[in-house]
Protein backbone atom coordinates (compact mmCIF):
# COMPACT_ATOMS: atom_id res chain seq x y z
CA UNK A 1 0.00 0.00 0.00
CA UNK A 2 1.46 3.35 -1.00
CA UNK A 3 1.53 6.36 1.28
CA UNK A 4 -1.72 8.29 1.16
CA UNK A 5 -1.68 11.92 0.05
CA UNK A 6 -4.69 13.70 1.60
CA UNK A 7 -5.89 17.17 0.78
CA UNK A 8 -3.44 19.71 2.10
CA UNK A 9 -0.79 17.06 2.68
CA UNK A 10 1.96 19.56 1.95
CA UNK A 11 2.92 21.08 5.29
CA UNK A 12 1.93 24.65 6.06
CA UNK A 13 4.46 27.43 5.60
CA UNK A 14 6.46 28.19 8.71
CA UNK A 15 4.85 30.80 10.95
CA UNK A 16 8.26 32.48 10.89
CA UNK A 17 7.39 33.97 7.49
CA UNK A 18 5.93 37.44 7.80
CA UNK A 19 2.29 38.08 7.03
CA UNK A 20 2.03 39.96 3.77
CA UNK A 21 -0.16 43.01 3.26
CA UNK A 22 -3.26 42.41 1.19
CA UNK A 23 -4.34 44.48 -1.78
CA UNK A 24 -7.17 47.01 -1.50
CA UNK A 25 -7.81 46.86 -5.26
CA UNK A 26 -7.22 44.05 -7.75
CA UNK A 27 -7.79 45.36 -11.25
CA UNK A 28 -11.38 46.62 -11.22
CA UNK A 29 -12.27 44.71 -8.05
CA UNK A 30 -12.54 46.33 -4.61
CA UNK A 31 -11.34 43.84 -2.00
CA UNK A 32 -13.25 43.11 1.21
CA UNK A 33 -13.08 40.58 4.01
CA UNK A 34 -11.36 37.21 4.00
CA UNK A 35 -13.74 34.33 3.28
CA UNK A 36 -11.27 31.50 3.75
CA UNK A 37 -7.58 30.75 4.00
CA UNK A 38 -5.34 27.79 3.30
CA UNK A 39 -1.66 26.96 3.13
CA UNK A 40 -0.93 28.54 -0.24
CA UNK A 41 -3.91 30.80 -0.86
CA UNK A 42 -6.64 32.89 0.68
CA UNK A 43 -10.10 33.72 -0.65
CA UNK A 44 -11.41 37.29 -0.38
CA UNK A 45 -14.80 38.83 -0.97
CA UNK A 46 -14.64 41.48 -3.72
CA UNK A 47 -16.93 43.78 -5.67
CA UNK A 48 -16.55 44.93 -9.28
CA UNK A 49 -16.32 48.73 -9.12
CA UNK A 50 -18.22 49.24 -12.41
CA UNK A 51 -21.04 46.70 -12.14
CA UNK A 52 -21.23 46.24 -8.36
CA UNK A 53 -21.23 42.46 -8.88
CA UNK A 54 -19.99 40.38 -5.93
CA UNK A 55 -17.22 37.84 -6.55
CA UNK A 56 -14.78 35.72 -4.58
CA UNK A 57 -11.10 36.09 -5.45
CA UNK A 58 -8.66 33.30 -4.70
CA UNK A 59 -5.25 34.89 -4.08
CA UNK A 60 -2.28 32.58 -4.60
CA UNK A 61 1.28 33.41 -3.58
CA UNK A 62 3.60 32.83 -6.55
CA UNK A 63 6.72 32.34 -4.44
CA UNK A 64 5.11 29.58 -2.38
CA UNK A 65 3.82 27.58 -5.33
CA UNK A 66 7.19 27.88 -7.10
CA UNK A 67 8.97 26.75 -3.93
CA UNK A 68 6.73 23.70 -3.61
CA UNK A 69 6.73 22.96 -7.36
CA UNK A 70 2.97 23.46 -7.60
CA UNK A 71 2.82 25.50 -10.82
CA UNK A 72 1.44 22.64 -12.91
CA UNK A 73 -1.16 21.84 -10.24
CA UNK A 74 -2.38 25.46 -10.20
CA UNK A 75 -2.47 25.55 -14.01
CA UNK A 76 -4.47 22.31 -13.96
CA UNK A 77 -6.93 23.69 -11.38
CA UNK A 78 -7.56 26.83 -13.46
CA UNK A 79 -7.85 24.83 -16.70
CA UNK A 80 -10.30 22.45 -15.05
CA UNK A 81 -12.57 25.20 -13.78
CA UNK A 82 -12.60 26.81 -17.22
CA UNK A 83 -13.61 23.52 -18.80
CA UNK A 84 -16.58 22.86 -16.50
CA UNK A 85 -19.37 25.40 -16.94
CA UNK A 86 -22.37 23.97 -15.10
CA UNK A 87 -25.08 25.41 -12.78
CA UNK A 88 -23.92 23.12 -9.96
CA UNK A 89 -20.24 24.01 -10.19
CA UNK A 90 -18.63 27.20 -8.87
CA UNK A 91 -17.79 29.30 -11.93
CA UNK A 92 -14.48 30.95 -12.76
CA UNK A 93 -14.73 34.39 -14.40
CA UNK A 94 -11.15 35.42 -15.11
CA UNK A 95 -7.52 35.06 -14.03
CA UNK A 96 -5.29 38.03 -13.18
CA UNK A 97 -1.74 38.37 -11.90
CA UNK A 98 0.75 40.76 -10.32
CA UNK A 99 4.47 40.24 -9.83
CA UNK A 100 3.93 38.23 -6.65
CA UNK A 101 0.37 36.87 -6.80
CA UNK A 102 -2.18 35.10 -8.98
CA UNK A 103 -5.83 36.11 -8.68
CA UNK A 104 -8.58 33.67 -9.67
CA UNK A 105 -11.92 35.51 -9.87
CA UNK A 106 -14.75 33.14 -8.93
CA UNK A 107 -18.51 33.08 -8.47
CA UNK A 108 -19.46 34.32 -4.99
CA UNK A 109 -21.58 31.63 -3.32
CA UNK A 110 -23.39 32.87 -0.21
CA UNK A 111 -24.99 29.77 1.34
CA UNK A 112 -21.89 28.29 2.97
CA UNK A 113 -20.64 24.70 3.00
CA UNK A 114 -23.01 21.75 2.94
CA UNK A 115 -20.74 20.37 5.69
CA UNK A 116 -21.83 23.18 8.03
CA UNK A 117 -25.50 22.52 7.32
CA UNK A 118 -25.03 18.96 8.58
CA UNK A 119 -22.78 20.02 11.47
CA UNK A 120 -25.29 22.57 12.74
CA UNK A 121 -28.60 20.86 11.96
CA UNK A 122 -27.76 17.16 11.94
CA UNK A 123 -28.88 14.69 9.30
CA UNK A 124 -31.14 15.78 6.45
CA UNK A 125 -34.48 14.33 5.41
CA UNK A 126 -34.33 11.71 2.69
CA UNK A 127 -36.04 13.93 0.10
CA UNK A 128 -33.67 16.82 0.86
CA UNK A 129 -30.65 14.51 0.66
CA UNK A 130 -31.92 13.16 -2.65
CA UNK A 131 -32.19 16.70 -4.09
CA UNK A 132 -28.56 17.49 -3.23
CA UNK A 133 -27.44 14.09 -4.49
CA UNK A 134 -29.25 14.60 -7.81
CA UNK A 135 -27.50 17.95 -8.29
CA UNK A 136 -24.17 16.37 -7.29
CA UNK A 137 -24.54 13.55 -9.82
CA UNK A 138 -25.55 16.01 -12.55
CA UNK A 139 -22.41 18.06 -11.95
CA UNK A 140 -20.07 15.08 -11.53
CA UNK A 141 -21.43 13.41 -14.68
CA UNK A 142 -20.87 16.66 -16.59
CA UNK A 143 -17.27 16.85 -15.30
CA UNK A 144 -16.63 13.30 -16.43
CA UNK A 145 -18.06 14.08 -19.87
CA UNK A 146 -15.42 16.84 -20.13
CA UNK A 147 -12.63 14.51 -19.05
CA UNK A 148 -12.41 16.03 -15.56
CA UNK A 149 -12.27 13.90 -12.39
CA UNK A 150 -12.55 15.79 -9.09
CA UNK A 151 -10.88 13.24 -6.75
CA UNK A 152 -11.74 15.10 -3.53
CA UNK A 153 -15.52 15.14 -3.32
CA UNK A 154 -16.77 15.70 0.23
CA UNK A 155 -19.36 17.96 1.94
CA UNK A 156 -16.66 20.56 2.75
CA UNK A 157 -16.16 21.04 -1.01
CA UNK A 158 -19.87 21.39 -1.72
CA UNK A 159 -21.24 24.93 -1.35
CA UNK A 160 -24.83 26.16 -1.33
CA UNK A 161 -26.04 29.26 -3.15
CA UNK A 162 -28.72 31.67 -1.93
CA UNK A 163 -31.42 29.42 -3.40
CA UNK A 164 -30.11 26.34 -1.61
CA UNK A 165 -28.63 24.79 -4.76
CA UNK A 166 -25.45 22.76 -4.57
CA UNK A 167 -22.17 24.00 -6.09
CA UNK A 168 -19.03 21.87 -6.36
CA UNK A 169 -15.82 23.75 -5.51
CA UNK A 170 -12.09 23.14 -5.00
CA UNK A 171 -10.70 21.39 -8.07
CA UNK A 172 -7.14 21.50 -6.69
CA UNK A 173 -6.75 17.71 -6.86
CA UNK A 174 -8.69 17.18 -10.08
CA UNK A 175 -7.31 15.10 -12.93
CA UNK A 176 -7.44 15.74 -16.68
CA UNK A 177 -7.09 13.14 -19.49
CA UNK A 178 -3.36 13.81 -19.94
CA UNK A 179 -2.72 12.49 -16.44
CA UNK A 180 -3.87 8.99 -17.33
CA UNK A 181 -1.09 6.48 -17.89
CA UNK A 182 -0.82 4.06 -20.79
CA UNK A 183 -3.09 1.62 -18.94
CA UNK A 184 -5.88 4.22 -19.05
CA UNK A 185 -5.89 4.63 -15.27
CA UNK A 186 -4.89 7.26 -12.70
CA UNK A 187 -2.19 6.38 -10.19
CA UNK A 188 -1.93 9.33 -7.78
CA UNK A 189 -3.28 8.45 -4.35
CA UNK A 190 -5.13 11.55 -3.22
CA UNK A 191 -8.34 12.78 -1.65
CA UNK A 192 -9.67 12.68 1.90
CA UNK A 193 -9.34 9.26 3.66
CA UNK A 194 -12.95 8.89 4.85
CA UNK A 195 -14.33 9.59 1.35
CA UNK A 196 -11.78 7.81 -0.81
CA UNK A 197 -12.56 4.68 -2.84
CA UNK A 198 -10.86 1.36 -1.98
CA UNK A 199 -9.04 1.16 -5.32
CA UNK A 200 -7.48 4.60 -4.82
CA UNK A 201 -5.66 3.40 -1.71
CA UNK A 202 -4.06 0.51 -3.64
CA UNK A 203 -1.11 1.26 -5.92
CA UNK A 204 -2.67 -0.50 -8.92
CA UNK A 205 -4.38 2.37 -10.71
CA UNK A 206 -8.01 3.42 -10.72
CA UNK A 207 -10.67 4.92 -12.98
CA UNK A 208 -11.46 8.51 -12.04
CA UNK A 209 -15.19 8.16 -12.73
CA UNK A 210 -15.84 5.14 -10.49
CA UNK A 211 -13.65 6.62 -7.72
CA UNK A 212 -15.65 9.86 -7.79
CA UNK A 213 -18.91 7.88 -7.61
CA UNK A 214 -17.75 6.11 -4.45
CA UNK A 215 -17.17 9.53 -2.84
CA UNK A 216 -20.67 10.57 -3.95
CA UNK A 217 -22.04 7.50 -2.17
CA UNK A 218 -20.24 8.41 1.05
CA UNK A 219 -21.61 11.96 0.78
CA UNK A 220 -25.17 10.64 0.37
CA UNK A 221 -24.72 8.43 3.44
CA UNK A 222 -23.44 11.40 5.48
CA UNK A 223 -26.37 13.58 4.38
CA UNK A 224 -28.93 10.99 5.45
CA UNK A 225 -27.17 9.60 8.54
CA UNK A 226 -25.45 12.70 9.92
CA UNK A 227 -22.19 10.78 10.35
CA UNK A 228 -19.60 8.93 8.27
CA UNK A 229 -19.97 5.29 7.19
CA UNK A 230 -16.22 4.78 7.66
CA UNK A 231 -14.70 6.66 10.60
CA UNK A 232 -11.75 5.27 12.55
CA UNK A 233 -8.97 7.16 14.33
CA UNK A 234 -6.46 4.54 13.18
CA UNK A 235 -5.76 4.98 9.46
CA UNK A 236 -5.00 1.29 8.82
CA UNK A 237 -8.23 0.23 10.52
CA UNK A 238 -10.09 2.80 8.44
CA UNK A 239 -8.59 1.47 5.20
CA UNK A 240 -9.51 -2.11 6.10
CA UNK A 241 -13.14 -1.12 6.65
CA UNK A 242 -13.20 0.80 3.36
CA UNK A 243 -11.72 -2.17 1.47
CA UNK A 244 -14.44 -4.46 2.83
CA UNK A 245 -17.16 -1.79 2.64
CA UNK A 246 -17.67 -2.62 6.30
CA UNK A 247 -20.54 -0.32 7.28
CA UNK A 248 -24.19 -0.50 8.31
CA UNK A 249 -27.11 1.76 7.45
CA UNK A 250 -29.09 3.30 10.33
CA UNK A 251 -32.70 2.11 10.81
CA UNK A 252 -34.24 5.35 9.49
CA UNK A 253 -32.91 4.70 5.98
CA UNK A 254 -35.71 3.52 3.71
CA UNK A 255 -35.30 0.12 2.07
CA UNK A 256 -34.86 1.76 -1.33
CA UNK A 257 -32.22 4.19 -0.04
CA UNK A 258 -30.32 1.39 1.72
CA UNK A 259 -30.29 -0.74 -1.44
CA UNK A 260 -29.21 2.28 -3.51
CA UNK A 261 -26.28 3.18 -1.24
CA UNK A 262 -25.07 -0.43 -1.17
CA UNK A 263 -24.87 -0.35 -4.97
CA UNK A 264 -22.68 2.77 -4.88
CA UNK A 265 -20.48 1.71 -1.97
CA UNK A 266 -19.49 -1.50 -3.72
CA UNK A 267 -15.76 -2.11 -2.99
CA UNK A 268 -15.33 -3.69 -6.43
CA UNK A 269 -15.08 -0.86 -9.00
CA UNK A 270 -15.95 -3.28 -11.82
CA UNK A 271 -19.38 -4.06 -10.36
CA UNK A 272 -20.01 -0.64 -8.78
CA UNK A 273 -23.06 1.12 -10.15
CA UNK A 274 -22.43 3.63 -12.99
CA UNK A 275 -23.96 7.08 -13.49
CA UNK A 276 -26.14 5.71 -16.29
CA UNK A 277 -27.47 3.03 -13.93
CA UNK A 278 -27.96 5.57 -11.13
CA UNK A 279 -30.14 7.71 -13.39
CA UNK A 280 -32.42 4.71 -14.07
CA UNK A 281 -33.12 3.84 -10.42
CA UNK A 282 -36.53 4.72 -9.01
CA UNK A 283 -34.99 6.24 -5.86
CA UNK A 284 -32.90 8.71 -7.90
CA UNK A 285 -35.65 9.59 -10.40
CA UNK A 286 -38.14 10.65 -7.72
CA UNK A 287 -38.70 14.42 -8.10
CA UNK A 288 -35.68 14.72 -10.39
CA UNK A 289 -35.31 17.86 -12.53
CA UNK A 290 -32.25 17.82 -14.82
CA UNK A 291 -30.02 20.87 -14.80
CA UNK A 292 -30.67 23.21 -17.71
CA UNK A 293 -27.76 25.16 -19.14
CA UNK A 294 -26.07 26.12 -22.38
CA UNK A 295 -22.92 24.13 -23.10
CA UNK A 296 -20.01 26.20 -24.34
CA UNK A 297 -17.11 24.65 -26.19
CA UNK A 298 -15.18 27.84 -27.00
CA UNK A 299 -12.95 27.68 -23.92
CA UNK A 300 -9.95 30.04 -23.97
CA UNK A 301 -6.99 28.88 -21.88
CA UNK A 302 -4.48 31.46 -23.17
CA UNK A 303 -4.50 33.59 -20.00
CA UNK A 304 -3.33 30.66 -17.86
CA UNK A 305 0.20 30.73 -19.30
CA UNK A 306 0.32 34.53 -19.20
CA UNK A 307 -0.13 34.70 -15.42
CA UNK A 308 3.07 32.69 -14.97
CA UNK A 309 4.98 34.63 -17.62
CA UNK A 310 7.93 36.79 -16.59
CA UNK A 311 6.66 39.53 -18.91
CA UNK A 312 5.27 42.55 -17.00
CA UNK A 313 3.02 43.65 -19.85
CA UNK A 314 -0.25 42.42 -18.35
CA UNK A 315 0.63 42.45 -14.64
CA UNK A 316 -1.46 44.39 -12.13
CA UNK A 317 -0.01 47.03 -9.81
CA UNK A 318 -0.20 46.04 -6.15
CA UNK A 319 -1.45 48.44 -3.49
CA UNK A 320 -1.07 47.72 0.22
CA UNK A 321 -3.24 48.45 3.24
CA UNK A 322 -2.10 51.01 5.82
CA UNK A 323 -5.15 50.95 8.13
CA UNK A 324 -7.94 48.54 9.08
CA UNK A 325 -10.20 47.66 6.16
CA UNK A 326 -13.37 49.75 6.20
CA UNK A 327 -16.46 47.55 5.92
CA UNK A 328 -19.14 49.31 3.90
CA UNK A 329 -22.90 48.92 4.29
CA UNK A 330 -23.17 46.45 1.41
CA UNK A 331 -20.67 44.09 3.02
CA UNK A 332 -22.45 44.38 6.37
CA UNK A 333 -25.70 43.31 4.74
CA UNK A 334 -24.03 40.28 3.13
CA UNK A 335 -23.03 39.11 6.62
CA UNK A 336 -26.57 39.37 7.95
CA UNK A 337 -29.74 37.39 7.35
CA UNK A 338 -31.51 39.30 4.58
CA UNK A 339 -31.77 42.95 5.55
CA UNK A 340 -32.08 42.31 9.28
CA UNK A 341 -28.90 43.65 10.88
CA UNK A 342 -30.00 43.05 14.46
CA UNK A 343 -28.13 39.76 14.70
CA UNK A 344 -25.10 40.81 12.69
CA UNK A 345 -22.61 40.63 15.54
CA UNK A 346 -24.52 38.12 17.64
CA UNK A 347 -23.57 34.84 15.98
CA UNK A 348 -23.53 32.10 18.63
CA UNK A 349 -23.45 29.28 16.06
CA UNK A 350 -20.55 30.68 14.06
CA UNK A 351 -17.81 28.91 16.09
CA UNK A 352 -19.19 25.60 14.82
CA UNK A 353 -18.70 26.87 11.28
CA UNK A 354 -15.08 27.79 11.96
CA UNK A 355 -15.72 31.54 11.97
CA UNK A 356 -16.68 34.08 14.63
CA UNK A 357 -17.18 37.84 14.93
CA UNK A 358 -17.42 40.36 17.74
CA UNK A 359 -17.38 44.14 18.02
CA UNK A 360 -15.13 46.37 20.10
CA UNK A 361 -14.65 50.06 20.82
CA UNK A 362 -11.02 49.52 21.76
CA UNK A 363 -8.29 50.80 19.39
CA UNK A 364 -7.27 48.20 16.74
CA UNK A 365 -3.74 47.82 18.12
CA UNK A 366 -5.13 47.13 21.59
CA UNK A 367 -7.54 44.54 20.21
CA UNK A 368 -4.75 42.68 18.41
CA UNK A 369 -2.45 42.88 21.46
CA UNK A 370 -5.18 41.52 23.76
CA UNK A 371 -5.87 38.55 21.49
CA UNK A 372 -2.14 37.82 21.27
CA UNK A 373 -1.78 38.01 25.05
CA UNK A 374 -4.56 35.46 25.56
CA UNK A 375 -3.59 33.13 22.68
CA UNK A 376 0.07 32.56 23.58
CA UNK A 377 -0.59 30.80 26.94
CA UNK A 378 -3.05 28.56 25.06
CA UNK A 379 -0.09 27.18 23.08
CA UNK A 380 -0.36 29.28 19.93
CA UNK A 381 2.47 30.86 17.97
CA UNK A 382 1.22 34.35 17.06
CA UNK A 383 2.17 36.54 14.15
CA UNK A 384 0.74 40.02 13.58
CA UNK A 385 1.01 42.73 10.98
CA UNK A 386 -1.23 45.58 9.83
CA UNK A 387 -4.37 44.69 11.81
CA UNK A 388 -4.15 41.04 10.85
CA UNK A 389 -3.06 38.07 12.89
CA UNK A 390 -2.26 34.42 12.36
CA UNK A 391 -2.23 31.97 15.25
CA UNK A 392 -0.91 28.43 14.90
CA UNK A 393 -1.27 25.78 17.59
CA UNK A 394 1.87 23.96 18.71
CA UNK A 395 0.03 20.62 19.06
CA UNK A 396 -1.09 18.53 16.12
CA UNK A 397 -4.81 17.82 16.18
CA UNK A 398 -7.12 15.50 14.27
CA UNK A 399 -6.60 17.41 11.02
CA UNK A 400 -3.12 18.80 11.59
CA UNK A 401 -2.14 21.95 13.47
CA UNK A 402 -5.02 24.34 14.16
CA UNK A 403 -4.44 27.73 12.54
CA UNK A 404 -6.66 30.76 13.10
CA UNK A 405 -6.64 33.95 11.02
CA UNK A 406 -7.90 37.21 12.51
CA UNK A 407 -8.64 40.60 10.97
CA UNK A 408 -9.95 43.90 12.36
CA UNK A 409 -12.47 45.88 10.29
CA UNK A 410 -13.57 49.47 10.86
CA UNK A 411 -17.38 49.56 10.90
CA UNK A 412 -17.71 53.18 12.07
CA UNK A 413 -15.47 55.72 13.81
CA UNK A 414 -14.40 54.12 17.11
CA UNK A 415 -16.32 50.90 16.37
CA UNK A 416 -14.50 47.86 15.02
CA UNK A 417 -15.54 44.37 14.03
CA UNK A 418 -13.12 41.53 14.73
CA UNK A 419 -13.45 38.39 12.65
CA UNK A 420 -11.70 35.11 13.44
CA UNK A 421 -11.85 32.06 11.19
CA UNK A 422 -10.25 28.66 11.03
CA UNK A 423 -7.50 28.64 8.38
CA UNK A 424 -6.50 25.03 8.98
CA UNK A 425 -7.36 22.16 11.30
CA UNK A 426 -10.48 20.66 12.83
CA UNK A 427 -13.65 22.78 13.22
CA UNK A 428 -14.55 21.34 16.63
CA UNK A 429 -11.02 22.01 17.89
CA UNK A 430 -11.43 25.59 16.69
CA UNK A 431 -14.68 25.82 18.64
CA UNK A 432 -12.91 24.66 21.82
CA UNK A 433 -10.04 27.13 21.24
CA UNK A 434 -12.46 30.00 20.73
CA UNK A 435 -14.28 29.24 23.96
CA UNK A 436 -10.96 29.38 25.86
CA UNK A 437 -9.89 32.54 24.02
CA UNK A 438 -13.18 34.32 24.73
CA UNK A 439 -12.72 34.05 28.50
CA UNK A 440 -9.75 36.42 28.33
CA UNK A 441 -11.37 38.97 26.01
CA UNK A 442 -14.22 40.24 28.20
CA UNK A 443 -12.63 43.70 28.52
CA UNK A 444 -12.21 43.97 24.74
CA UNK A 445 -15.71 43.02 23.62
CA UNK A 446 -18.20 45.87 23.39
CA UNK A 447 -21.18 45.76 25.75
CA UNK A 448 -24.42 47.65 25.08
CA UNK A 449 -25.70 50.13 27.69
CA UNK A 450 -28.28 47.60 28.78
CA UNK A 451 -25.45 45.25 29.61
CA UNK A 452 -26.19 42.81 26.81
CA UNK A 453 -23.12 41.71 24.94
CA UNK A 454 -23.37 42.42 21.21
CA UNK A 455 -20.81 39.83 20.20
CA UNK A 456 -20.26 36.27 19.14
CA UNK A 457 -18.55 34.89 22.22
CA UNK A 458 -20.56 32.08 23.81
CA UNK A 459 -20.46 31.47 27.53
CA UNK A 460 -20.88 28.27 29.49
CA UNK A 461 -21.99 30.17 32.60
| C-alpha distances in Å from residue 389, one per residue of 37, 213, 353 | 12, 40, 19
Backbone angles phi, psi at 439, to 5 degrees: -65, -30
202 a catalytic residue: no
CA quadruple 39, 41, 46, 50: dihedral, nearest 10: 180
Q: Give the angle subtended at the CA of 354 by the CAs of 350 and 355, to the nearest 5°.
A: 55
Distance CA 5, CA 299 (A): 31
Looking at residue 281, the DSSP 8-state letter turns out to be S
Among candidate residues 138, 152, 170, 266, the one labeled active-site is: 152
Sequence-distant (6+) residues with CB within 8 A of 75 are 304, 305, 308
Three-state DSSP class for 186? strand
DSSP secondary structure code for residue 315 in this structure: P
58 annotated as ligand-binding: yes
Closest of 21, 28, 55, 77 to residue 316, by C-alpha? 28
Check: CB of residue 256 under 8 Å from CB of residue 282: yes
Contact (Cβ atoms closer than 8 angstroms) between residue 391 and residue 380: yes
Cβ atoms of 374 and 444 within 8 Å: the answer is: no
Cα gap 121→124, rounded to integer Å: 8
List, as residue ranges, the binding site for ATP: 58
Residues with catalytic function: 152
Amino acid sequence: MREFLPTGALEEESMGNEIEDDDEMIGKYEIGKTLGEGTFAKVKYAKHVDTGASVAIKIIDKEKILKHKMVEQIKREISTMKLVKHPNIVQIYEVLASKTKIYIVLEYVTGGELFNKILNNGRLREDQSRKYFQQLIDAVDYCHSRGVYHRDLKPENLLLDAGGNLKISDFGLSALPQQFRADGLLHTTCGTPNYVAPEVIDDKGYAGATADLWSCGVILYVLMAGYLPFDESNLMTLYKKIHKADFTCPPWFSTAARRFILQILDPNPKTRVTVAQIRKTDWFKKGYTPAKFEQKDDINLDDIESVFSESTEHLLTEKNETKPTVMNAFELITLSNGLNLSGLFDTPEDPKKGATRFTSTKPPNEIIASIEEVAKPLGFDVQTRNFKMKMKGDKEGRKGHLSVATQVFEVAPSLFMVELHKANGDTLEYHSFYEDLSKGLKDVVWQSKAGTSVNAIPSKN
